Structure 1
Amino acid sequence: MRKKITTILTAAGMLLLSNACTDLNEQVLDETLSANLTEQEAANGLLAPVYALLPEIFMHTRYFALQEISTDEAILPYRGGTDWGDNGIYLALHRHNTTSTDPNVNATWNNVVQSLSRSITAITSFKSSTYPGAAQYLAEARGMRAYYNMIMLDLYGIAFIKEDPGTTSTIVRGEEAIKYIESELLAIEPLVQPKSVVGPGRLNQAAVWGLLSRLYLNAAVYRNIYGASFTFASADMDKVIQYTDKIIASGQAKLSADYFSIFNDNNHSNDELIFAVDQRAELNGHNRMAYFSISGDQFPLAEFPAANGTDGPGITSDFYKTWTDAYGTVDPKADPRFYQENMSVYSNKADTCINDADYKINRGILRDQQYGAIRVNGAFLRCPDGKLKVGRLTYLTRNRADLPVSFSQNIDFTTAGSNYNSGYRVSKYEFSKKSNTGRNRGDADIVILRLADIYLMRAEAKLRKSNDAAGALADVNAVRAARTKTTPPPALTNMSLDILYRERGFELYWEMVRRPDMIRFGKYEGTWTEKTNSDVKKRIFPIPQNAIDGASNLPGYMQQNDGY
């Protein structure tokens, strides 16, 4: 019997008591409300808000900023003294001097808390639903609540336990938080569907196994966040191996022969993705991951002269040095994960006319002089035959025709190191072919979990459990050998935790795992470009001041993290 649905989405349940922590007095109403909806359509309508804010969480100035600009991978100076100043928040983030009023910290918190609230609303509705598929939808919503709590635990050191929208959440930390998240993921593991059924944009069986693996791998950190060292329990490492084995054996994901195809704008169908933020254009995604780092005078699309980059973060010279140290006298571009050349003008300067359909900017880590379409007075220059003219780029849009778009290795917070062309850039995600501004209409799914990370997590667990260097080496080399579209990187001959850490940087750079990696490997208190703060209290971020103020009617409920 069809269930008559009069409301798909109700006012989101408060995570805490009224007005506590953040503004969750949102009323989300579907304009397609209709008694004619099928039960499955109604169920989809209840589940959709659980995922709806993922693109906001993973924006370049939110989760990405917290997980990358706080590390040795990314640095964002005050460009030219005019751009990306933002009251010094990116300088402070990189230096581990972030405060509880930082807008990136606050926006990420608010998005995650709202997503938790929406998950609870969906869970409550599915519990009372008579729809035959309600159990699977309920499991999915519970799993997403666990995932959002994993983000909370990782970034802010806390998790929220809440079942009834009308009650106050219980705040848990450390072991209690780990056990709660673990219990939720284990409870729903038998109920969620395989990736082949729901795709990578929804929580699926392999994704649950992957989240469990990630939770167990980081459990030592979460238990003792300020510890001088971490004790990686053998039981935890066994579980990492158990669940990564499940993923690999299941065949639900496959390593991609073409590394950069994992980040193309059609990557929703890439077999390597396990769990991702669904960014297909019809879902109104954004592609700012592609736009954030490249130059404002790089125009990746022949069709859209207004679509460009923004001269955002570059990689630090410290991170670049990990590549050159590993490859010695060989240019690291020999590694297909480092660089992909898409225009022959880089190797043959006479090739200055390109068919529009063949025009693509290069991918990976971009160094030195850049070439591309030249925009003058709002239009691209053309060759006599109508083809797109490409050439040496300068900062015309900044009224600096004298300044070449030639990325230097040096980047820091000095005047010279903060110029528009300072720092090697990252063009990992493909610039969406449909984005007429460079800022919206992104197609590329943003990776949360992919198979290469699963292999590398298993390798790490083997090393930490029993120093199984041979087993870890086999896993790492399996990932390297898979990239066969071009010559794959050479097989490694030995393995250690330091080599594995370096390898995770090569494989997963710009994928928002660097901060937890640095903490877990004992690197986060180190010194790198413009960063000397060694305070262990900075491993997690401050709870936003407005969240603490919002809970002021509950004395002692919301405690600020140590060191803030």
Structure 2
Amino acid sequence: MKKKFSLIFAVAGLLFMAPGCTDLEEQVLDETLKANLSPDEAANGLLAPVYALLPNLFQHTTYFALNEITTDEAILPYRGGTDWGDNGIYLALHQHNTTATDPNVNSTWGTLSQSISRSITAINGLKNSTSATAALYAAEARGMRAYYNMIMLDMFGVAFLKDDPNAASVIIRGEEALKYIESELLAIEPVVQPKSVVGPGRLNQVAVWGLLARLNLNAAVYRNIYAPTFEFRAEDMDKVIQYTDKIIASGQAKLSPDYFSIFGNQNHSNQELIFAVDQRADLNGHNRLAYFSISGDQFPLAAFPAANGTDGPGITSDFYQSWVQAYGAVDPKRDPRFYQENMSVYSNAADTCVKDSDYKINRGILRGQQFGALRVNGAFLRCPDGRLKVGKLSYVTRNRADLPVSFGELVDFTTAGSNYNTGYRVAKYEFGSESNTGRNKGDADIVILRLADIYMMRAEAKLRKSNDAAGALADVNLVRASRTATTPPPALTAMNLDLLFRERGFEFYWEMLRRSDMIRFGKYEGKWTEKSNADVKKRIFPIPQTAIDGASNVPGYLKQNDGY
């Protein structure tokens, strides 16, 4: 069954129910209200809003920005001195100098708060439903409330305990929050349906096991976020192994032979996905993760000459060099996760005329001179036979035809390092096939949890519990060997925590896992391009000042995180 429920209920609720605490009232989702709704329609209308804001949460300026641009993977300079300046918020994110007024922090907090509120509304509304789906939907809503609280805990150090829509939330932290989220997931685990029944776009049993594994893997961090070193308890690692074993044994997910198909426009049916933001065409998804990094003069769709990139973040040279160090004299594009060439024109400059149906930009980490559809005065150039003319790109859209779209390794916050063509770029998610603007109509589901992470989490738990390097190595090599659509990367011969951290970077770059990985592996206070801040208080983000101000009539209710 698809996740696309009829959005027919006007849902209202407050996360902080004390009068005047904060402005979190829900908006009407759909004004096509019907009288005499059937019980099933009413149940659908209650559950749909629980999932509805996931695309907003996983946008480039919300969850992505906070979990990637703060790390050694992504950097977003003030491009050309004219683009992505945004009052310095992306420079501050990367340098760990974010403040409580940052709009990306505000938006992420607000989306999570609203989603928790919608979950509570659904849980309570379904109590009296006579629909046959009521128990299942209530379990999903309860599980999603736990998931949103898990993200709150990870990013802001707090979770919200609340069942009665008319009562105030209780703010919990640390061990208490950890136990609460775990108990909620365990409570719904027997009720939610298998992934084989509902697919990856709804909370399913395998996804619950995966979230429990992720929660326990990070338990040491959540118990004491500012600890100089983390205590990874054997019982936590046992749980990680228990839940990852269950997922693998269930057979409900399979590793994908083609790495980039995991992030392709048809990935809803890719068996590696366990839990994802459902973005199939009729669900009005966004294309922001595909457009964010590539150049404004890269136009990936022959049908839409207005659909381009935006010259957003590049990868740091620090992250790129981790690939170079791993492969030595061999170009890292040898690894099928690094790069996928889709057209010979990129290596054979004589191929300048391409059928529209054959035109497809490359994927992965993009380096050097870029080739693509040539555009003049808003229209693509055509060869005499009508085919698309493809050639070397330059920054025509920036009025810099003299500047080639040739991505260099070095990128920083200097004037030269902030130019439009600085930094290698990432085109991991496939550009939406119907995205007429480049920003909208994304087709690819956004990955929240996939099977490769299950194996990697199990490997990490084995290392942290008993230094089982052989067991961890087997899990990591199994993932590497699975990418058989092209020549898979060679098997590793040794494994330790540093190598596993590097391998997670190769496997999961641009998937919004880097910040939590860096914190857990003790890397987040390190130095990399344009970042030297070693303050452990920056492991979590500030609570937005607007939220604190909104709760000001309840003294001490919402306290700012340390260090802000």
The offset of 1:28, in angstroms, is 2.1
Report Cα offsets for 1:35-73 as digits up to 9, x if no partner.
Answer: 454322221111000001110011100000000000000
Report Cα offsets for 1:253-273 as digits up to 9, x if no partner.
Answer: 110000000001111111110
Q: Map of 1:24-35 to 2, 5 A cutoff? A: 24-35=24-35
Contact preservation (8 Å) 2:99, 2:542: yes
Give the whole-Å Cα distance in 1 for the aligned partners of 2:351 and 2:19.
Answer: 61
Q: Secondary structure at the match of 1:541?
A: coil
Give the whole-Å Cα distance in 1 for the aligned partners of 2:29 and 2:60.
Answer: 28
Find out whether 1:306 has 2:331 as its counterpart: no
Contact preservation (8 Å) 1:19, 1:551: no
Contact preservation (8 Å) 1:335, 1:488: yes
Q: Secondary structure at the match of 2:306?
A: coil
The offset of 1:112, in angstroms, is 0.4
Further displaced range: 410-419 or 265-274: 265-274
Contact preservation (8 Å) 1:293, 1:425: yes
The offset of 1:527, in angstroms, is 0.2
Q: Map of 1:25-64 to 2, 5 A cutoff? A: 25-35=25-35, 37-64=37-64
Q: Secondary structure at the match of 1:131?
A: coil
**Structure 1 residues 544 and 460 mapped into 2: Cα distance closer, same or farther (>3 Å)?**
same
Contact preservation (8 Å) 2:21, 2:553: no
Report Cα offsets for 1:440-489 as digits up to 9, x if no partner.
Answer: 01111100000001110000000000000111001001100000000000
Find out whether 1:144 has 2:137 as its counterpart: no
The offset of 1:13, in angstroms, is 1.5
Further displaced range: 124-133 or 453-462: 124-133
Give the whole-Å Cα distance in 1 for the aligned partners of 2:31 and 2:207.
Answer: 31
Match of 1:198 in 2: 198
Report Cα offsets for 1:510-530 as digits up to 9, x if no partner.
Answer: 000000000000000000000
Match of 2:559 in 1: 559
Give the whole-Å Cα distance in 2 for the aligned partners of 1:318 and 1:150.
Answer: 30
State the one-letter code of the partner of 1:278: D
State the one-letter code of the partner of 2:227: G
Match of 2:408 in 1: 408
What are structure 2's unaligned runs of at least 5 residues?
A: 1-6
The offset of 1:153, in angstroms, is 0.2
Contact preservation (8 Å) 2:60, 2:288: yes
Match of 1:3 in 2: none
The offset of 1:22, in angstroms, is 3.8
State the one-letter code of the partner of 1:319: F
The offset of 1:33, in angstroms, is 2.7
Q: How many residues align?
A: 558
**Taking structure 1 as the reference length, what is the TM-score of the superposition?**
0.98
Q: Secondary structure at the match of 1:437?
A: coil
Match of 1:360 in 2: 360
Q: Secondary structure at the match of 2:153?
A: helix
Identity, in percent, stands at 80
The offset of 1:20, in angstroms, is 5.3
Find out whether 1:292 has 2:254 as its counterpart: no
Report Cα offsets for 1:495-524 as digits up to 9, x if no partner.
Answer: 000000000000000000000000000000
Q: Map of 1:412-491 to 2, 5 A cutoff? A: 412-491=412-491
The offset of 1:202, in angstroms, is 0.5
Contact preservation (8 Å) 1:12, 1:24: no
Match of 1:80 in 2: 80
Give the whole-Å Cα distance in 2 for the aligned partners of 1:119 and 1:384.
Answer: 57
Q: Map of 1:81-480 to 2, 5 A cutoff? A: 81-480=81-480
Match of 1:549 in 2: 549
Give the whole-Å Cα distance in 2 for the aligned partners of 1:29 and 1:470.
Answer: 52
Give the whole-Å Cα distance in 2 for the aligned partners of 1:148 and 1:371.
Answer: 41
Give the whole-Å Cα distance in 2 for the aligned partners of 1:346 and 1:395.
Answer: 18
Give the whole-Å Cα distance in 2 for the aligned partners of 1:136 and 1:324.
Answer: 49
Further displaced range: 344-353 or 531-540: 344-353
Give the whole-Å Cα distance in 1 for the aligned partners of 2:147 and 2:67.
Answer: 16
Q: Secondary structure at the match of 1:127?
A: coil
Q: Secondary structure at the match of 2:315?
A: coil
Contact preservation (8 Å) 2:40, 2:132: no
Give the whole-Å Cα distance in 2 for the aligned partners of 1:518 and 1:151.
Answer: 16
Report Cα offsets for 1:404-450 as digits up to 9, x if no partner.
Answer: 00000000000000000000000000001100110001111100000
**Taking structure 2 as the reference length, what is the TM-score of the superposition?**
0.98
State the one-letter code of the partner of 2:559: Q
Contact preservation (8 Å) 2:551, 2:557: yes
Contact preservation (8 Å) 1:313, 1:425: yes
Give the whole-Å Cα distance in 2 for the aligned partners of 1:17 and 1:275.
Answer: 31
Give the whole-Å Cα distance in 1 for the aligned partners of 2:15 and 2:409.
Answer: 46
Q: Map of 1:509-524 to 2, 5 A cutoff? A: 509-524=509-524
Contact preservation (8 Å) 1:290, 1:430: yes
The offset of 1:24, in angstroms, is 1.5
